[in-house]
Amino acid sequence: MKKQFIILSIFLFGFISYSFACDNAELNLNSLIDNCDGSFTYNMEVCFETRDGTAGDADHLLLSFPQSGANITSVTPSTFVFDDGTVWNMVTGMGTGVVNISGPAINFISPDDQNCFTIDVVLDADPGTTGNAYYIEVGHDTDGGGICVYEAGVAFCGCPNPLPVGNVCPVACSIDNITAGSQTACVPATNTYTQQITVTYSNPPATGTLDVNGQSFAITSSPQTVTLTGLTADGNGVNVTAVFSADGTCTDTQNSLFTAPANCSPVCSIDNITAGSQTACVPATNTYTQQITVTYTAPPGSGTLDVNGQSFAITSSPQTITLTGLTADGNGVNVTAAFSANGTCTDTQNSLFTAPANCSPVCSIDNITAGSQTACVPATNTYTQQITVTYTNPPTTGTLDVNGQSFAITSSPQTVTITGLTADGNGVNVTAAFSADGTCTDTQSSLFTAPASCSSSCNADNGTWE
């Protein structure tokens, strides 16, 4: 049997006619698809007449794209099993040329029994739609076969016309420009402003929102102007990023697109501190109260007004507060007012007012008198003595101490009994004092006379006790 072959070389830019048949072989071009990633797929049906020993039966198909600039990257399926079980490898010779024809090619080798089959041939570039030619040759090793050529509208052996791309790829979304529009003045109450932004875009997504610096807006049409609100005024340049929520890759950023207004927040200040009414000193606590009026501007929206360590809710200026529990000492008093939420907003007035004089009751021991006295006890040569102490404003703590003996403070006049006193017949000085107030003391000299000594003694001259 003579070896026969078909060479099919195509200089592509598509086909609008679908099939070519020549010398017992047929090639049907079904579709040309743009894969939208830079590659294109031809779907085609290849048919060989079943080999019967006659001249003209084809056993070899060569597919090439020499003039389109497109290379073959894959063929699917890569093998084909014919009716007789023969496996045909359809990708031998990928990337090779053909005699007198330059460009990549795929060789298809046919078995004895052959059927029609469909394949997808993927190219790495658009084969184009004008100016290119394709070339089909069907030949035999004995007679040279037939030739089909399509070039600049010239066709041989029924060559079909170019086939257009059968689909349109979606156009990618893009944000093409971002510009700044009008800007409002800073609002002192909030230190904020608004800014218009215009976004120019192409092919926006059909769902979601247009997000500009975190604020979301319904998608309308390009160019689209949106208004950013509640922006903080700080005098700095502002970067602007626009993005579609439904397509995070469709985004753009313009650095320092506009400049924010300067900070317009009112500056907190304490403008004046004055002294108001003052109560008299309370003797029981030696304290008093003092009214203070604080005049201020732009106080913080939180925290307290603190005056000399005492805290008050912020109301309105001028604000009068009352300091309580102040110690009366007759000295000038410095007053400091500050806001807890803004430590820099403070003021101090030295010697703003004078405290009342100390009105604490003065402790005094007014009198000490002697009371009853016991006889001398010979066994110990001691006696006891009652003492009555009259006092005023004693301390609330400590003890009443009389000649070194301590007693709980009761009330004036207070009588205590001194015990274990030595009998010697002499006058006795008596000192009374309060342990909690060493200045509250009194001494009475020779307040009473001790009993004469009563201790027993032995007379050595006659051996008797006296």
- Domain assignment present for residue 461? The answer is no
In a shared domain, residues 52 and 150 = yes
- Domain assignment present for residue 304? The answer is yes
> Domain boundary residue among 101, 127, 155?
155
In a shared domain, residues 388 and 308 = no
Can you tell me the distance from the alpha carbon of 134 to that of 150, in angstroms, rounded to the nearest whole number?
A: 5
Instruction: Specify the pLDDT at position 125.
Output: 72
- Domain assignment present for residue 249? The answer is yes
Give me the number of domains the chain comprises: 4
Cβ-proximal residues to 203 (8 Å cutoff; 6+ apart), any chain: 170, 171, 172, 173, 174
Residue whose pair of structure tokens reads 């230190």 in the numeric block: 191
In a shared domain, residues 108 and 58 = yes
In a shared domain, residues 275 and 138 = no
- Domain assignment present for residue 422? The answer is yes
Instruction: Specify the pLDDT at position 111.
Output: 44
* CB distance 216 to 224 below 8 Å: no
What is the amino acid identity at position 286? N
pLDDT tens for residues 136-182? 443 333 334 434 443 434 444 444 544 566 677 878 899 999 999 99
In a shared domain, residues 26 and 123 = yes
- Domain assignment present for residue 466? The answer is no
Q: Identify the CATH number of the domain in which residue 105 sits.
A: 2.60.40
**Which pairing describes strands 192-202 and 224-232: parallel, antiparallel, or unpaired?**
antiparallel
Q: What share of the chain is helix, strand, coil (3-state, %, to 5)?
A: 0, 55, 45
> Domain boundary residue among 210, 229, 259?
259
- Domain assignment present for residue 225? The answer is yes
Instruction: Specify the pLDDT at position 422.
Output: 96
Length of the chain: 466
Q: How many CB atoms lie within 10 A of CB 52?
A: 11
CB-facing half-sphere around the CA of 85: CA atoms within 13 A = 0
In a shared domain, residues 368 and 338 = no
pLDDT tens for residues 20-32? 455 455 566 677 7
In a shared domain, residues 244 and 344 = no
Can you tell me the distance from the alpha carbon of 352 to that of 23, in angstroms, rounded to the nearest whole number?
A: 120
What is the amino acid identity at position 53? G
The structure's pTM equals 0.45
- Domain assignment present for residue 161? The answer is no
Task: Give me the domain span that covers residue 308.
Answer: 269-354
Can you tell me the distance from the alpha carbon of 388 to that of 386, in angstroms, rounded to the nearest whole number?
A: 7
Cα 360–Cα 363–Cα 369 angle in degrees, nearest 5: 160
What does each of the 466 residues of the chain score in pLDDT, given as a tens digit?
223 333 333 333 333 334 445 545 556 667 778 888 888 887 877 665 444 444 444 444 555 555 556 677 777 777 666 555 656 555 544 433 232 333 334 444 444 444 566 778 787 776 654 434 444 443 333 334 434 443 434 444 444 544 566 677 878 899 999 999 999 999 988 899 999 999 999 999 999 999 999 999 999 999 999 999 999 999 999 999 999 999 999 999 999 999 999 999 888 999 999 999 999 999 889 999 999 999 999 999 899 999 999 999 999 999 999 999 999 999 999 999 999 999 999 999 999 999 999 998 889 999 999 999 999 999 999 999 999 999 999 998 999 999 999 999 999 999 999 999 999 999 999 999 999 999 999 999 999 999 999 987 644 455 544 4
> Domain boundary residue among 259, 283, 299?
259
In a shared domain, residues 8 and 115 = yes
In a shared domain, residues 189 and 121 = no
- Domain assignment present for residue 160? The answer is no
Q: How many CB atoms lie within 10 A of CB 351?
A: 10
Cα 99–Cα 101–Cα 162 angle in degrees, nearest 5: 145
Bridge partner residues of 311 (DSSP): 306
* SS3 at position 23: coil
In a shared domain, residues 144 and 186 = no
In a shared domain, residues 181 and 212 = yes
Strands (DSSP E) contained in 355-454 are 364-373, 382-392, 399-402, 405-408, 414-422, 427-434, 437-449
Instruction: Specify the pLDDT at position 44.
Output: 73
Strands (DSSP E) contained in 423-462 are 427-434, 437-449, 458-459
Specify whether the backbone of 403 is left (phi greater than 0), alpha (psi in -120 to 50) or beta.
left
Using the 8-state DSSP alphabet, how is residue 453 labeled?
A: P
* CB distance 131 to 93 below 8 Å: no
In a shared domain, residues 368 and 321 = no
Can you tell me the distance from the alpha carbon of 170 to that of 39, in angstroms, rounded to the nearest whole number?
A: 15
Cβ-proximal residues to 127 (8 Å cutoff; 6+ apart), any chain: 12, 13, 14, 32, 40, 65, 68, 69, 70
